[in-house]
Structure 1
Amino acid sequence: MLTKKQIQLLEFIQKRMARDGVPPSFDEMKDALDLRSKSGIHRLVTALEERGFIRRLPHRARALEIVRLPDTLADLGAARDKAVASFTPRVVASGQPTRPRAAMNVLDTGAVELPLMGRIAAGVPIEAISEVSHHIAVPGTMLSGRDHHYALEVKGDSMIEAGINDGDVVVIREQNSADNGDIIVALVDGSEATLKRYRRRGDMIALEAANPAYETRILPEESVRVQGRLVGLIRSY
């Protein structure tokens, strides 16, 4: 039997992983549950792990995995529609010739094939590759209805404390706006693409890394175009 706080924490972790594809940080958990210190979160996480609801993955930043949910949470997220229609994704790049757009293929297993559009910088911005290198199978539950999605390979370590490592593949829902705290694909000055956490500060945009070795970039609103929001992450071992 779980306590109210344990259920609240499990629900928060589940919702954030469904939204961002990565677990929340302990600071985010502390704020969400209105606790005064992270020690309380450590105790709740340990209790959930001992009861078999979550698993901590060793040697990785903020790596948690939900093993199962109690009956009260089992139906959360079940209403997500599977993406079953074809789409024509926009390329995360600029100033390059228009190429034929790739279709999304739905597999018999319930997975969806998305075009891997190239690399995205989690570090110093690099130009995104605008060609489809190959397709990658993504669980349909990662996707949001009939919205457009694409995949990008991560290059760099600036988002490592958000659980995003060099070589990971991120699944992006195409959109041109973001809320504070979202992890987004940002096109900087029309030529460089980067994966960062989005914060609006008046008429300026902050692109925050999740690695203390990288400084937050503060840019004029007109220099930053939101190209999509992180909705999932795929890692090969």
Structure 2
Amino acid sequence: MLTPKQKKIFEYIKKYIKENDYSPSLEEIGRHFKLVKSTVHQHVETLKEKGYLNKLDYQARTIEISENKKYSDLVVIPLLGTIAAGQPIEAIEDKEIIEVPKSQLSKSGEHFALKVSGDSMIGEGISNGDIVVIRKQPTAENGETVVALLNDNEVTLKKIYREKNGFRLQPANPNLKPIFTKELAVQGKVITVIRKFKELKELKKSIKTEENKIKKERELEPYLNKVYLGDIMDLLKKLPDKCVDMIFGDPDYNVGIKYGAQTYTKNFDEYIDWYIELTKESMRVLKDDGNLFMLNYPKQNAHLRVRYLDNIYSLINEYVWVYNTNVGHTPKRFTTAHRTILHIRKTEKNKFYKDNITVPYKNPTDKRILHNLKNGSRGRMPYDWFYFDLVKNVSKEKTYHVCQIPQKLTEMLIKSCTIPNNIVLVLFGGSGSELEICKLLKRQYISAEIDPKYHELILSRLKNGKIKEKYKLQFRKNKKESQMSSLPLF
């Protein structure tokens, strides 16, 4: 059983981990409860000993909620009614059932539960409305909290002490007097306390949630931090619902691009049907607080919105990526030098980390800007159009893959809505540039690549932390030119 202070510290740690995805430091716990570090350390060690926490020694932020306490199986036991933690009440007759974690029961023996009425045991952390779990047994040691049957028809919850002429049932409340009796029957001993019915329901819900989380983690394990060799649609169908924090999609644009000798261009309506199906499956595997970014040419994204997204989702933003280009010029129209990025959210509670992507204010001497800076602002949000140069052929990050997105762009998107250990689904592995960013930012990733030669490139890039010469575009060009110069002249 936890003391009130231990329970508060345990609840604080649980809440902190849930909100931040990592544990608080001992210093942060100390500041929150106004305790010195040594006292916090004692409480954490006690929670470890009682099985509520795990902690890796000598490492910062490594406190974990113990699976033994939080995620263990539920066991059904009878709830026999209400017992007095005050004056005795009539013997219990009502009978229901409740579920409690197996870890909160003794390893052997029969158990039942009772709802507490009164506050005579408040000093033991047992309050009015709590549920006590009892191990059925006819005897108890001095000082143990028991269910005692008096006069064959009254029950009470007290500490038991043997006296010269009988028994003393001692309340844990200085305002109440003990009960003295010559005879009683011990019905059982209290082994744990569950805080009220509401907390029990929340505990059951929490256990169910964590069971689902563990199940998803097991289903994800074969694909996590790996690149699936095959069609992305096949991979998506293998993934469970609501399992990734962010998705980045940069599909083939259906404009005749050749990937080596391969092209994926098809009839436009067929392409949009495929694009819609891709987006549907992507939204299925996206968590409720996640973010999906789909990069494509404006026309393709417009059709995706009109034919599907706008009918289903209301939280859609459209951003513009602008770049300089020396190709695609025509005398009949303005040159296309941008692509659109659709940002789709399931709910307004999506994760978004403004401070990760702020840019300097353009006019930092403005009074309003100075006020913002004084109040801790790190800068302004980027506008909804972004200028990033195309990956040039001479760039260090340029591979022989025909279509690469600048890493600065994808880095900004990934930073905007994920933190370390979050899972990013990169729909198309391509040159591996987005996956390299995930690895550098300590994000977990899942991806697919249908082309074996690009799959080989990605694995090499991730393993070596760089692009080997044989995968660089310039190397391929030089090799081709060398081969051409060695041909006989006629």
Q: TM-score range by the shorter chain?
A: 0.5 to 0.7
Secondary structure of the 2:176 match is coil
Q: Which one of 152, 161, 177 corresponds to residue 199 of structure 1?
A: 161
Q: Which one of 80, 85, 90 corresponds to residue 117 of structure 1?
A: 80
CA RMSD of aligned residues (A): 3.5
Contact 2:111-2:136 within 8 A present in 1 as well: yes
Q: Is it true that 1:235 corresponds to 2:195 in the alignment?
A: yes
The runs of 5 or more residues in structure 2 that have no matched partner are: 6-34, 58-67, 200-490
Q: Is it true that 1:129 corresponds to 2:129 in the alignment?
A: no
In 1, the alpha carbon distance for the partners of 2:104 and 2:46 equals: 20
Secondary structure of the 2:53 match is coil
Question: Compared with structure 1, are the counterparts of its residues 52 and 123 closer, same or farther at alpha carbon in structure 2 (3 Å cutoff)?
Answer: closer
The runs of 5 or more residues in structure 1 that have no matched partner are: 1-16, 26-43, 57-64, 73-79, 81-107
Matches within 5 A, 1:219-230: 219-220=181-182, 223-230=183-190
Contact 1:48-1:54 within 8 A present in 2 as well: no
TM-score, normalisation: structure 1: 0.57
Matched residues, percent identical? 39
Counterpart of 2:116? 154
Shift of residue 131 of structure 1?
2.5
Contact 2:148-2:157 within 8 A present in 1 as well: yes
In 1, the alpha carbon distance for the partners of 2:189 and 2:36 equals: 27
Shift of residue 121 of structure 1?
0.2
Contact 2:115-2:129 within 8 A present in 1 as well: yes
User: Which protein has the bigger strand share?
Assistant: 1
Shift of residue 23 of structure 1?
3.6
Contact 1:159-1:209 within 8 A present in 2 as well: yes
Counterpart of 1:53? 44
Question: Larger radius of gyration, structure 1 or 2?
Answer: 2
Matches within 5 A, 1:140-219: 140-219=102-181
What is the identity, as a one-letter code, of the residue corresponding to 1:68?
Answer: L
In 2, the alpha carbon distance for the partners of 1:55 and 1:193 equals: 33
Shift of residue 116 of structure 1?
0.6
Contact 2:84-2:117 within 8 A present in 1 as well: yes
Shift of residue 71 of structure 1?
7.3
Shift of residue 149 of structure 1?
0.5
Contact 1:184-1:197 within 8 A present in 2 as well: yes
In 2, the alpha carbon distance for the partners of 1:183 and 1:71 equals: 35
In 2, the alpha carbon distance for the partners of 1:109 and 1:145 equals: 14
Deviations 1:108-167 (A, max 9, x none): 9511111110000000110132231x2111111222233110000000000001100000
Question: Compared with structure 1, are the counterparts of its residues 145 and 67 closer, same or farther at alpha carbon in structure 2 (3 Å cutoff)?
Answer: closer
Contact 1:49-1:55 within 8 A present in 2 as well: no
In 2, the alpha carbon distance for the partners of 1:173 and 1:185 equals: 10
Shift of residue 229 of structure 1?
0.1
User: Which protein has the bigger helix share?
Assistant: 2
Question: Compared with structure 1, are the counterparts of its residues 233 and 68 closer, same or farther at alpha carbon in structure 2 (3 Å cutoff)?
Answer: same
Deviations 1:171-202 (A, max 9, x none): 00000001001000000111110000010112
Counting matched residue pairs gives 156
TM-score, normalisation: structure 2: 0.29
Q: Which has the higher contact order (CA 8 A, sep 6+)?
A: 1
In 2, the alpha carbon distance for the partners of 1:46 and 1:231 equals: 31
Counterpart of 2:53? 68
In 2, the alpha carbon distance for the partners of 1:200 and 1:143 equals: 26
Shift of residue 55 of structure 1?
9.5
In 1, the alpha carbon distance for the partners of 2:3 and 2:42 equals: 19
In 1, the alpha carbon distance for the partners of 2:113 and 2:173 equals: 22
In 2, the alpha carbon distance for the partners of 1:46 and 1:224 equals: 47
In 1, the alpha carbon distance for the partners of 2:106 and 2:87 equals: 29
In 2, the alpha carbon distance for the partners of 1:24 and 1:230 equals: 17
Contact 2:77-2:113 within 8 A present in 1 as well: yes
What is the identity, as a one-letter code, of the residue corresponding to 1:124?
Answer: Q
What is the identity, as a one-letter code, of the residue corresponding to 1:230?
Answer: V
Contact 1:124-1:194 within 8 A present in 2 as well: yes
Secondary structure of the 1:184 match is strand
